[in-house]
Amino acid sequence: MKFFASCGKGVEYLLADELLALGCTAATAALAGVNVEGTLADAQRAVLWSRLASRVLWPLAEFDCADEHALYAGAAALPWHRHLDAAMTLAVDAHVSGQALTHERYAAQRVKDAVVDVMRASTGARPDVDTVAPDLRLNLVVRKGRAILSVDLGGGPLHRRGWRQQQGEAPLKETLAAAVLLRGGWPQLYAEGGALLDPMCGSGTLLIEGALMAADVAPGLQRHVDVHGGERQPSRWLGFDATAWQSLVAAARERERVGRAGLRPVFSGSDVDPHAIRAANGNATLAGLAGVIHFDTHPIEAVPVQAAARGLVACNPPYDARLAADPALYRALGAALQRAVPGWRASLLCGDAGLARATGLRAGKRYQLFNGALECTLIVVDPVLPPARDGADAPVALSDGARMIANRLRKNLKKLKPWREREGVSCYRAYDADLPEYAAAIDVYAEADDPSRQWLHVQEYAAPAEIPEAVARRRLNELLTAARDVFALPRERIALKTRAIGKGGSKYAGGFDRRGDYLVVREGDARLRVNLFDYLDTGLFLDHRPMRLRIADEAHDTRFLNLFGYTGAATVHAALRGARSTTTVDLSATYLQWCAGNLQENEVGGARHRLVQADALQWLQADIGQYDLVFCDPPTFSNSSRARDFDVQAEHVRLLRAAVARLAPGGVLYFSNNFRRFRLDGEAIAEFASCEDVSAATIPPDFARDPRIHRCWRLQRRS
C-alpha cells in the first residue's frame, strides 16, 4: 500500500531515509514530503517513531475533482460507516490549488457535508465537528483536477511532542530541530561520547529533542497520553489497528526505560533572556529531563570553554522579521564557538547565506531548510576552528600516472586562466579525458561569496569492455589523487560519479548521497544553486554557458519561454536582464522547485515569473500565449511515467513546429540538444521557420576539445 508522509521543505531526503530505517518497503522524496510504500503497521510505526514527519496520511480515495460538485460526489461515494461511528467527532483539513476550487475552508466543508449526509442516510445519525481534538481527522488535497482524501493517522501535526508548555517568541518546531541535529550527526557523536551545546537555546527545543533522541524515546509517546496519564490512540478511525498500536507503544516504553536509565547529562544551554531560560527549564521538566540538561543565563560572549573534547553545537540564532537579524550577533556567535569549542562540530540554522557567512565559520556543508514559510540556511562546520592550513590533506607522493594527469591539469588551468579572468568565469571544465586512458571529466565550481573556495565534480566515463575493472579503478584513483594535489582540496569537496557494470550495461553508481546540500555559484549576473552530490547532473550545464549569456543579452523587454526548463538557469538570466515575463515548463516538480529557489536567490519572483509542471510538447499544443524569446533544450529521450515517451530525433519537427507557432512577430527560438547522432530535418523545418546553425558560437573554450557536446540552432517564424 502507498501512503504519504509530509514534512518541511528541505527535509525530504532525511525523512525518506528515516522511514526506510523504520521498516517501510520504499520511500521516495517528493516536494514537502515522501511517497511511501508499506503496511498500515509501518504507517502507525511512523506516527510513533518519526522525528521528521509532519503528518502521516493514509489514503482512502483518489478521484477526479473538476469542481465542488465532483468533490462532494467523490467524498460521498465512500462507505463512511466503515470509517467512523455517528457518535464520533470529525475534522477535515484541506489544501487546494487550481482555478476550480480556491477556498480551502469551503472545500473542507463540502467533504464534511458529504460524510455527514452519507452517515445520516445509513445510520440516521451524524457525527459532530471538532476541529481541535476530533476522533477522525481527514486530509484533503486537490491538485491538477485530482483529489486525494486521506486519514491523518497521527490526528494532527506530529511536531507536537506533548512536552511543550512554554515557548519563546519564535519557537522552532521539534521536527525541524530533529533535522538540524541529524544533519549535524548528533546520534553518532553521542554514541562516541560527545556532548550537546546550544548557546542561544530559547525555550530549549534543540536540547530537549537531542536528549530524547539520545535516550531513544519515541517522539510520539508523550503526544498520545491522555489527561489521566493513560495511553490513547492517535486516531479513532475504525480502520486503525489498535492491537498493533498497543504493541508498538509497549515496545517503545521498554526502550524508553532502558534509554533514560543510561542517559548521560551532557546537555547544556544558555540564553541572554532569563524568561527563555525559565521556559526551557519548565519544558525540560515536562519532558522528563529535569537535571539532565543544564541551563544558564548569560550572553553569547560569555559561553564557557567546554570540558568535553568533542561534541555538537546545535543552534537556531534569531533571524526572522519578529526577531533581530543582526550580523554582529552572528559574528559574536562564531567567535564564541571558536574560543569555547574549537574542536567540536556545529550545526547552525541561520536566516540566510549572508548571516551564515557573518559567523566567520567555514561550512563544510550547506542545506536549504524552511522554518515555516521562512527559507533558512543550515551550515555544518567541522571542526569549528580548522587547522591553519585550510584545504588539502597531507601531501602524498604521486605515481607516474597521477603526475602525468597533474601536469595536464596545470597546463589546462594556465591556458584557460586569461579567458576565465576576462569573462569572469568561476565554474568551468578543467579536464575532459585529455589523456584517453584517464577517461573522466573534471568540473570546477567556485562559491559565489568566496571564489577561492572551490569544489570539484568528477564524472567517470565508461571504460572500454577490454579494460579490466582493476585497471579502470587504479586510473580513476590516480586521477583523483592528481586533482586533489593540483587544487589542494580535501576529499569532502570532491563529488565523484563513478560507472559500474550492471544490468542493462554501464551505469552511474556512486556519489548519489541524497545529502541535500547546495552551493551557490555565480554565472554572469546570476547566482545559481548547484548540487554536486545528489544527482547525476549538478543543476547547471556548463557547456550551455554562452547560450544562457546570449539569452541574457537578448531578453530585455521580452516574453521569455523556457521549455524543458530544468533548474531554470536560463530563466534567471532572462529575468535579471529585464524580461517582461518568464514561463518555465518542466515535467519534474524537483526541477521546478529548484528553479523557484534560483529565482529567489536572485530576489526575482512574483506573478510575472510562471512555473508550469507539464509535458512540454503537450503544453505547447494547448497553449495560446505569444513569446518573443524561446529557449528549447529537450533531453535526448524521456520515458517518464507521467507523460508519453519522448525521443528528440523522432519528435523534434513536431516540437519545433508547436514552439515556433507560439512566437510573436520577430520572435526568436533557440533550439539545442546534446544527442551526438542528432540530425536536424532542415527540409521539414524550412516549411515553417528560417533556421541558422549557431553551434560554433555557443561552445565555450573549456569545451573546445568536444565541439559536438551540443548543437544549437536559431529559428524565426516564417510569415
pLDDT of the residue at 325 = 60
For 685, other C-beta atoms within 10 Å of its C-beta total 20
- 492 and 566, same structural domain? no
d(CA 189, CA 267): 13
What are residue 269's DSSP bridge partners?
Answer: 198, 295
Sign of CA dihedral 661, 662, 666, 669: negative
- 315 and 184, same structural domain? yes
Nearest-10 crossing angle of helices 104-123, 68-76: 40
- 676 and 570, same structural domain? yes
Q: Which helix (H) or strand (E) holds 174?
A: helix 174-183
Task: Tell me whether residue 518 is in a domain.
Answer: no
pLDDT of the residue at 386 = 81
pLDDT tier for residue 450 given thresholds of 50, 70 and 90: confident
Task: Tell me whether residue 356 is in a domain.
Answer: yes
- Residues 397-406 have a mean pLDDT of 87
pLDDT tier for residue 608 given thresholds of 50, 70 and 90: very high
- Statement: residue 174 has pLDDT above 50: yes
d(CA 573, CA 545): 11
Q: Which of 574, 657, 716, 591 is nearest to 583 (CA)?
A: 574
Task: Tell me whether residue 141 is in a domain.
Answer: yes
Please spell the DSSP secondary structure of 248-285, one letter per residue.
HHHHHHHHHHHHHHT----EEEEES-HHHHHHHHHHHH
Q: Read off φ and ψ for residue 471, nearest 5 degrees.
A: -70, -45
- 685 contacts 656 by C-beta, under 8 angstroms: yes
Task: Say which CATH number the domain at 289 has.
Answer: 3.40.50.150
Task: Tell me whether residue 533 is in a domain.
Answer: no
pLDDT tier for residue 170 given thresholds of 50, 70 and 90: low
Task: Say which CATH number the domain at 137 has.
Answer: 3.30.2130.30
Q: Which residue has the higher pLDDT, 499 or 298?
A: 298
What are residue 508's DSSP bridge partners?
Answer: 499
Please tell me whether residue 345 adopts helix, strand or coil conformation: strand
Q: Which residue has the higher pLDDT, 466 or 71?
A: 71
Sheet containing 581-586: order of strands = 609-613, 581-586, 559-563, 627-632, 663-673, 711-717, 689-693
- 587 and 552, same structural domain? yes
Task: Say which CATH number the domain at 496 has.
Answer: 3.30.750.80
Dihedral over alpha carbons 411, 412, 415, 417 (to 10 degrees)? -110
- Statement: residue 292 has pLDDT above 50: yes
Least confident of 84-93, 453-462, 622-631, 654-663: 453-462
What are residue 171's DSSP bridge partners?
Answer: none
- Statement: residue 509 has pLDDT above 60: no
d(CA 99, CA 97): 7
pLDDT of the residue at 497 = 87
Task: Tell me whether residue 223 is in a domain.
Answer: no
- Residues 481-495 have a mean pLDDT of 88
- 161 contacts 174 by C-beta, under 8 angstroms: yes
Read off the DSSP letter of residue 309. S
Q: Out of 152, 185, 205, pick the residue that ends a domain.
A: 152
- Statement: residue 504 has pLDDT above 70: no
- Statement: residue 515 has pLDDT above 70: no
- 530 contacts 519 by C-beta, under 8 angstroms: yes
- Statement: residue 500 has pLDDT above 60: no
Q: Out of 459, 484, 508, pick the residue that ends a domain.
A: 508
pLDDT of the residue at 391 = 45
- 406 and 335, same structural domain? no
d(CA 636, CA 647): 6
pLDDT of the residue at 646 = 84
d(CA 601, CA 539): 14
Task: Tell me whether residue 51 is in a domain.
Answer: yes
Q: Which residue has the higher pLDDT, 375 or 69?
A: 69
- Statement: residue 290 has pLDDT above 50: yes
- 415 and 373, same structural domain? no
Whole-prediction pTM:
0.61
- Statement: residue 432 has pLDDT above 90: yes
Least confident of 178-182, 351-355, 453-457: 351-355
Q: Give the model confidence (pLDDT) of 523-570 as tens digits.
A: 999 999 999 988 889 999 999 999 999 999 999 999 999 999 999 999
- 127 and 78, same structural domain? yes
Backbone φ/ψ region at 524: left (φ over 0), alpha (ψ -120 to 50), beta:
left
Regarding beta strands 293-297 and 267-271, do their DSSP bridges make them parallel or antiparallel, or are they unpaired? parallel
- Residues 697-718 have a mean pLDDT of 94
Instruction: Show the domain range for 337.
Output: 174-215+263-381
- 272 contacts 299 by C-beta, under 8 angstroms: yes
Sign of CA dihedral 343, 380, 395, 398: positive
- Residues 222-238 have a mean pLDDT of 79
Which residue type occupies 711? R
pLDDT of the residue at 167 = 57
Give the chain's length: 719
Q: Enter the C-alpha cell of residue 166.
A: 512554554
pLDDT of the residue at 502 = 42
pLDDT tier for residue 506 given thresholds of 50, 70 and 90: very low
Please tell me whether residue 623 adopts helix, strand or coil conformation: coil
- 365 and 288, same structural domain? yes
Q: Which of 611, 618, 621, 610 is nearest to 638 (CA)?
A: 618
pLDDT tier for residue 520 given thresholds of 50, 70 and 90: very high
Least confident of 153-167, 219-233, 567-581: 219-233
- 582 and 486, same structural domain? no
Q: What percent of the chain has pLDDT over 90?
A: 76
- Statement: residue 322 has pLDDT above 50: no
Please tell me whether residue 685 adopts helix, strand or coil conformation: helix
pLDDT of the residue at 675 = 93
pLDDT tier for residue 194 given thresholds of 50, 70 and 90: very high
Task: Tell me whether residue 590 is in a domain.
Answer: yes
Q: Enter the C-alpha cell of residue 41.
A: 503497521
Q: What percent of the chain has pLDDT over 70?
A: 93
- 413 and 292, same structural domain? no
pLDDT of the residue at 536 = 85
For 550, other C-beta atoms within 10 Å of its C-beta total 20
Task: Tell me whether residue 202 is in a domain.
Answer: yes
| Cα dist from 425 to 237, 246, 448, 467, 568, whole Å | 59, 61, 11, 36, 19
- 527 contacts 575 by C-beta, under 8 angstroms: no
Which residue type occupies 102? T
Mean predicted lDDT score pLDDT of the chain: 91
Q: What is the separation, in whole angstroms, between the first and last Cα of the chain?
A: 55
pLDDT of the residue at 100 = 78
| Cα dist from 333 to 33, 299, 336, 388, 714, whole Å | 33, 10, 5, 20, 53
User: 24-28 long-range CB contacts below 8 Å, 24 or more apart?
Assistant: none
pLDDT of the residue at 498 = 77
| Cα dist from 470 to 339, 461, 466, whole Å | 47, 15, 12
Please tell me whether residue 355 adopts helix, strand or coil conformation: helix
pLDDT tier for residue 49 given thresholds of 50, 70 and 90: very high
pLDDT of the residue at 323 = 40
pLDDT of the residue at 226 = 63
Given the C-alpha cell 472545500, which residue does it identify?
107
Which residue type occupies 438? Y
- 178 contacts 258 by C-beta, under 8 angstroms: no
- 703 and 609, same structural domain? yes
Q: Read off φ and ψ for residue 179, nearest 5 degrees.
A: -65, -40
pLDDT of the residue at 540 = 96
- 142 and 190, same structural domain? no
- 602 contacts 575 by C-beta, under 8 angstroms: yes
Whether residue 199 is preceded by a cis peptide bond, meaning omega within 30 degrees of 0, is no
- Number of domains making up the chain: 4
- Residues 648-667 have a mean pLDDT of 95
- 168 contacts 279 by C-beta, under 8 angstroms: yes
pLDDT tier for residue 644 given thresholds of 50, 70 and 90: low
